[in-house]
Chains A and B, each alone.
Chain A
Amino acid sequence: EADIYQTPRYLVIGTGKKITLECSQTMGHDKMYWYQQDPGMELHLIHYSYGVNSTEKGDLSSESTVSRIRTEHFPLTLESARPSHTSQYLCASRQADTQYFGPGTRLTVL
Chain B
Amino acid sequence: GESVGLHLPTLSVQEGDNSIINCAYSNSASDYFIWYKQESGKGPQFIIDIRSNMDKRQGQRVTVLLNKTVKHLSLQIAATQPGDSAVYFCAEKTRSSASKIIFGSGTRLSIRP
Q: A: which residues have CB within 8 A of B? A: 4, 31, 35, 40-43, 45, 48, 50, 56, 58, 90, 92, 94, 97-104, 106
Contact = CB atoms under 8 A, between A and B. Distances in A.
B89 interface: yes
9 contacts: A31-B99, A40-B87, A42-B104, A43-B44, A90-B43, A90-B44, A101-B43, A103-B42, A106-B41
B46 A42 contact: no
A7 B44 CA distance: 17
Contacts, number: 50
A72 B81 CA distance: 36
Contacts of A58: 100
Nearest to B101: A99
Contacts of A42: 89, 103-106
Nearest to B102: A45
- Most B-side CB within 10 Å, residue of A31, A35, A43, A94: A43
Contacts of A90: 43-44
B45 interface: yes
Contacts of B103: 35, 42-43
B32 A101 contact: no
Contacts of A102: 43
Interface in B60-92: 87, 89
B105 A41 contact: yes
A98 B104 contact: no
Contact of B108 (A40, A48, A103): A40
Contacts of A98: 34, 46, 49
Nearest to B100: A45
Given A40-B108, A43-B89, 10 more contacts: A41-B106, A42-B89, A42-B104, A42-B106, A48-B99, A56-B99, A58-B100, A99-B34, A103-B42, A104-B42
